[in-house]
Amino acid sequence: MMLNRNLRRLLSTSAAREAMEYDVVVVGAGPAGLSSAIKLKQLEQAQGREVSVCVVEKGSEVGAHVLSGNVFNPRAIKELFPDFLERGALGEEPTEAAHDEFRLLTNDKSAISVPNVFIPPPMHNEGNYIISLSQLTRWLGEQAEELGVEIYPGFSADEVLIEEGRVRGVATKDMGISKKGEIKDSFERGMELRGKYTIFSEGCRGSCSERVMDEFNLRDAAQDQQSYGLGLKEVWEIPEENHKPGYIQHTAGWPLDSNTYGGSFLYHMKPNLVLLGYVVGLDYQNPYLSPYQEFQRLKLHPDIKKHLEGGECISYGARTLNEGGYQAIPKLTFPGGLLAGCSAGFLNVAAIKGSHTAIKSGIEAGEALYAALEKEGDEEVAEPTEYQDRMQKSWVWDELYKTRNFAAGFKYGLYGGTLIAGVTSIVTRGAEPFTLTKHAKGHRDCDATKPKKDCQPIDYPKPDGVLTFDLLTNLQRSGTYHDDDQEAHLRVKEDKKEYPEKLSLEIYDGPEQRFCPAKVYEYVDDKLVINAQNCLHCKACSIKTPDQYINWTVPEGGGGPNYNNM
C-alpha cells in the first residue's frame, strides 16, 4: 500500500510540467515587481517592440501579502505615472503628511519630545503621504493588467529553473499533496513559467531570491551581512473627534532596553484610521524577548494609548524588513535575471522607507530588460548588467549611501547610535569619510542570541482585551488561512534535524516560541510542534531560529494572510 502511494507520488511529481514562455517572468506582485512589469509595457507602447510579461503572486489576490507602515515618498511613482494622484493611486482622498513627532520613551509613563531640528532629515515627511501599501499595490496590479501584463495570483513560485548556468524562469508549486506527502484527488502539477529574463521581486528574504543569491554567490559583493527587523502592525479605527489626519509619530526607547534596536510608528490616515506598528531588530540578544509582547506593552504608554482610546483594532499582521542598508546590497544581476525591491535589500533604514526604492528599482529593471530584449532582438543578452549600472547611477544608490551609517551606528546601543545617527544625518549628511559595519560577514542575526543561562525571562503584562490582545485573537484579524492538509512549508533542514530540541530548546529555551508573530512554533513535552497553518509569511523564522535551522519554503498559492488595509 505504502509502495503504491510512494509510486503514485513519484509518477505524479515527476510528470512533465506544462510550460508557458514569456519575455519576462516576474516573481512577486509587490510594488517592485508590478512597477517593472508596468515599465516594460509602457516602453512597449512607446517604442513598439512587443514584450510578453507575466507576474506570479502567492497571495490569494494582489496586495494580500503586502504589509507596510506606510509613509509614502511619491518620488518614484511620479516617474512611473506623473498623474498618479489624478488617476486615484492613493485613493479618493489622499492623506498628506502634516506633522512629524519623534519621542524618546524614557519609561512606561514618560517621554522626551525631540525638537524638529534634531529629527534626522530622512525622517522628515513634508510632501509624503500616509497610505496603505497593500491598497496601492492593488492599484498597481490594475494598471499592469490594463497594460496587458498577465498576473497570476494564488500561485507560489517554488523552484528556480536553472539550466546551463542560466535562470530560465520558475516553476509554481505542485498543489494537492497531503501533510503526509501523499497525492490527493485535487493534485495538480505546478507550471513552468519560462522567461528570457526573470525578475525576483519577492520582498524581504524571498525564498527564490535567496536560492538565486546562493547559486550565483551574489552576496559576495556586499560589504556586510544582511540584517533584519521584524515589524508588527495593527490598524485601528478611532472616533473621528480624536483623529488628526496626517499626524506622524515615531518613538525609540521603552519598552526595549538600550541594547536592542527598534522603535514604533504611528500614523493617522483618513478617514479615521491609526496605523500603529513596532519594529524590533532581529539581532536582539535575550531569547526571552517577544516582539509581539513588546508591541502590546508599548500600547500602554500614555503617548500611544491616547491615540487609540475609544477605538477598535481591525487588522493585525507582521513582516520582516531589511536593515543592512547600503553595506548589505548584493550583486544585482546574474545570467538570465535580476533582483528588485526588498529582495535586493533597498530599504532606507534611516527613513524606514522602501516602497519608493522598490518602485524605482522596478522602473530601472523594466528599462534595462527592455533594452536587453531590443539589443539582441530575440537573442538573449546573457546577463542584464545594465540594471546594475542604472541602479548605481540612480537616486536610490545616492539615498542609501548617504544614510549608510544610520542603522550601523546602533551597534553602539541606543545612545551611541542616536549620536552617530544625528551627526551623520544632520551634520555630515553622508559625507563622513567612513563606513561603519553593522554585522561583519558571517555574523547573522541569529548569532546574536545569547544562551538562556545568561538572560532573564521577561514578565509581560496580561492582555486586557481592549488595548492589548492575546496573539491568537489578534491573528484572526490577519485573515490568515492555509489548507491544513498540505505539505509542510516550514521544514527543519535535513542536516539540522536535532537542532530544535538539542540546540534551540536546550540552550536558548526555544526563542521561536516567542518571536514568531503567529504562534506557529511550540514545544509540547519538549518536542517541537509546527502549527504551519497560522503562518503570516513574515520569514522571521528563516532568520532567527538558532543556526537558522528552518527552511522557509512556499506553501500552496492562495494561502497565508489576507491583508486588505495594511
Site string for ligand SF4, 358-377 (x = CB under 6 A): --------------------
Supply the DSSP symbol for 112. E
CB 537 to ligand SF4: min, Å: 6
- Amino acid at residue number 124: H
Q: Which of residues 14-33 bind ligand FAD (CB under 6 A)?
A: 27-33
Q: How far is CA 373 from CA 21, 43, 351, 367, 465, in A?
A: 14, 11, 35, 10, 56
CB 552 to ligand SF4: min, Å: 6
Rounded CA-CA distance 407/261 in Å is 9
Cell of 84: 498618479
In the list 42, 60, 68, 478, the residue contacting ligand FAD (rule: CB under 6 A) is: 68
CB 248 to ligand FAD: min, Å: 9
> What is the spatial order of strands in the sheet that 111-113 belongs to?
111-113, 99-105, 247-253, 262-269, 273-281, 228-237, 312-322
Angle ∠(96,101,105) on CA atoms, nearest 5: 145
Rounded CA-CA distance 388/332 in Å is 6
* Binding of residue 232 to ligand SF4 (CB under 6 A): no
Rounded CA-CA distance 564/566 in Å is 6
Nearer to ligand FAD, 355 or 562 (CB): 355
* Binding of residue 536 to ligand SF4 (CB under 6 A): yes
Site string for ligand SF4, 466-505 (x = CB under 6 A): ------------------------x---------------
Instruction: Specify the DSSP element, H or E, that contains 267.
Output: strand 262-269
Candidates 119-127, 275-283, 494-502, 532-540 — which segment interacts with ligand SF4 by CB under 6 A?
A: 532-540
CB 355 to ligand FAD: min, Å: 3
Choose the one of ligand FAD, ligand SF4, none that binds residue 535, judging by a C-beta under 5 to 8 angstroms depending on kind: ligand SF4
Burial of 79 (0-12, 13-18, 19+ CB in 10 A): middle
Angle ∠(13,15,21) on CA atoms, nearest 5: 105
Nearer to ligand SF4, 251 or 548 (CB): 548
Site string for ligand SF4, 188-227 (x = CB under 6 A): ----------------------------------------
* Binding of residue 535 to ligand SF4 (CB under 6 A): yes
* Binding of residue 517 to ligand SF4 (CB under 6 A): yes
Q: Contact, 488 vs 531, CB < 8 A?
A: no
* Binding of residue 201 to ligand FAD (CB under 6 A): yes
Choose the one of ligand SF4, ligand FAD, none that binds residue 208, judging by a C-beta under 5 to 8 angstroms depending on kind: ligand FAD
Nearer to ligand FAD, 358 or 368 (CB): 358
* Binding of residue 540 to ligand SF4 (CB under 6 A): yes
Q: Contact, 176 vs 69, CB < 8 A?
A: no
Rounded CA-CA distance 46/17 in Å is 35
Q: Which of residues 134-163 bind ligand FAD (CB under 6 A)?
A: 156-157
> Can you say how many angstroms the Cα of residue 456 is from the centroid of all Cα atoms in its chain?
30
* Binding of residue 337 to ligand FAD (CB under 6 A): no
Candidates 66-74, 384-392, 398-406, 539-547 — which segment interacts with ligand FAD by CB under 6 A?
A: 66-74
CB 543 to ligand SF4: min, Å: 9
Nearer to ligand SF4, 196 or 233 (CB): 233
CB 8 to ligand FAD: min, Å: 27
In the list 204, 541, 554, 566, the residue contacting ligand SF4 (rule: CB under 6 A) is: 541
CB 535 to ligand SF4: min, Å: 3
Q: Which of residues 229-268 bind ligand FAD (CB under 6 A)?
A: 231, 233
Phi, psi torsion values for 519, nearest 5 degrees: 55, 45
> Can you say how many angstroms the Cα of residue 543 is from the centroid of all Cα atoms in its chain?
12
Q: Which of residues 338-357 bind ligand FAD (CB under 6 A)?
A: 341-342, 347, 352-356
Phi, psi torsion values for 558, nearest 5 degrees: 90, -15
* Binding of residue 516 to ligand SF4 (CB under 6 A): yes
Nearer to ligand FAD, 510 or 555 (CB): 555
Residue ranges of the alpha helices (H) in 271-385?
Answer: 291-298, 302-308, 355-375
Assign 3-state DSSP to the chain and report helix, strand, coil percentages, each to 5: 35, 25, 40
Rounded CA-CA distance 2/5 in Å is 5
Q: Contact, 31 vs 76, CB < 8 A?
A: no
Please list, in sequence order, all residues whose beta carbon lies within 8 angstroms of the beta carbon of residue 447, skipping any fewer than 6 positions away: none
* Binding of residue 65 to ligand FAD (CB under 6 A): yes
Q: Which of residues 371-410 bind ligand FAD (CB under 6 A)?
A: none
In the list 74, 169, 176, 203, the residue contacting ligand FAD (rule: CB under 6 A) is: 203
> Could you count the other beta carbons within 10 Å of the beta carbon of residue 428?
13
Q: Give the dihedral sign, CA 543/546/548/550.
A: negative
Rounded CA-CA distance 489/198 in Å is 23
In the list 193, 238, 520, 566, the residue contacting ligand SF4 (rule: CB under 6 A) is: 520
Residues in the chain: 566
> Could you count the other beta carbons within 10 Å of the beta carbon of residue 16?
7
Q: Which of residues 420-479 bind ligand FAD (CB under 6 A)?
A: none
- Amino acid at residue number 304: I
Give residue for cell 490594475: 142
Choose the one of ligand FAD, ligand SF4, none that binds residue 59, judging by a C-beta under 5 to 8 angstroms depending on kind: ligand FAD
Choose the one of ligand SF4, ligand FAD, none that binds residue 520, judging by a C-beta under 5 to 8 angstroms depending on kind: ligand SF4
Nearer to ligand FAD, 207 or 542 (CB): 207
* Site of interaction with ligand FAD (CB under 6 A): 27-33, 56-59, 65-72, 133, 156-157, 201-203, 206-208, 231, 233, 277, 279, 319, 321, 341-342, 347, 352-356, 358, 554
* Site of interaction with ligand SF4 (CB under 6 A): 490, 516-518, 520, 535-541, 552
